[in-house]
Structure 1
Amino acid sequence: MSDLNLIRNLSTLVSLRDSEVEKLQAAQAAKEATAERYRKNLERLHSLATNSGASGNLPIALAANCGNYKQAVLAMADNHRLDLTMHEADMAVSQRVLNAAYVKREVLGQVLEKKQAVVTSAKNVQERKQHDDLATQLWLRSQK
């Protein structure tokens, strides 16, 4: 009975580890989607800065306004780039945590499989012994 309890407990632990891995995978996917949004936003900001036109051909007030606009867009892009770098660092940490959780789950899964194999083997041995005992009894009865 102890082996069955151990197998049931190991199965529960494997299920919990599966849930943890799935949760971490979902979080990692969400972080990847956020990083992709950062990248697309950076492309848009770069496009806004380059497509605003040359400010040298404009009157002084408009040229200053256009220059300020470009500076603001470039500053925003720099801040966005920094945020993306920080986010990618966070993603790397999350990926390590996900890898560790996956390894833990695999180890528990292997322990569970080995224990199940041991229990199955023990049951098979016991079954064979019963069959042998029955066959011996049948043979002995037929000899009388």
Structure 2
Amino acid sequence: MSKQNTIDSLGTLVQLRGLDVDRLQADMTSQEATRTRYQNNLARMDALTASSGATGALPLALALNCGAYKQNVMAMADLHRTDLALHEANMAVSQRKLSEAWIKKELLGKVLDQQQQQLSREQERALRKREDDMATQSWMANRTA
């Protein structure tokens, strides 16, 4: 396999890794938006619980109704907190995957740069050798003439 084919293949791999990184970054952005929604919902539920007021001063039926309302809102908030914790754990896994993909892309990019530099040096060396050979031939031709 020629050096240029190797470089072309590495370039394609770097592009694919870049696409993978972009996809994972978009996924992280989506997950961050979901986390923000969870946090906003929790803040609203806490506000609802706090704004419903004390139940002790209300008539019995109304106090029971208000108490049940608060209990349900608090239970829903607890479920949201649990879901948020699970979501944040998934986000941590996704962040690790993103970091790994980025590292792979960067490493392949460095290998690609090294291969391109090596090919460039080889091409320069071959060009100098041709020029030296032509100069030597020219000098020999002028010497015998």
TM-score by length of 1: 0.96
1:130 maps to: 130
Structure 1 window deviating more from structure 2 (129-138 vs 51-60): it is 129-138
Residue in 2 aligned with 1:99?
Answer: 99
The Cα RMSD (Å) is: 1.1
Aligned match of 1:32: 32
1:21 corresponds to 2:24: no
* Cα deviation, residue 135, structure 1: 1.9
Q: Which residue of 1 aligns with 2:71?
A: 71
Q: TM-score, normalised by structure 2?
A: 0.95
Task: For residue 142 of structure 1, report the CA deviation from its aligned partner.
Answer: 3.2
Structure 1 residue aligned with 2:61? 61
Structure 2 alignment gaps of length 5 or more: none
Identity between Structure 1 and Structure 2 (%)? 51
Aligned to 1:142: 142
Report deviation, 1:85.
Answer: 0.1
User: Paired residue for 2:114?
Assistant: 114
Letter in 2 for 1:141: A
Return the letter of the residue paired with 1:71: Q
- Structure 2 letter corresponding to 1:20: D
Where does structure 1 differ by over 6 angstroms across 4 or more consecutive aligned residues? none
- The Cα offsets for residues 51-92 of structure 1, whole Å up to 9 and x where unpaired, read as 011111111111110000000000000000000000000000
Query: In the alignment, which residue of structure 1 is the partner of 2:44?
Result: 44
Q: How many residues align?
A: 144
Separation of aligned partners in 1, 2:138 and 2:55: 106
Counterparts of 1:41 and 1:128, CA distance in 2: 70
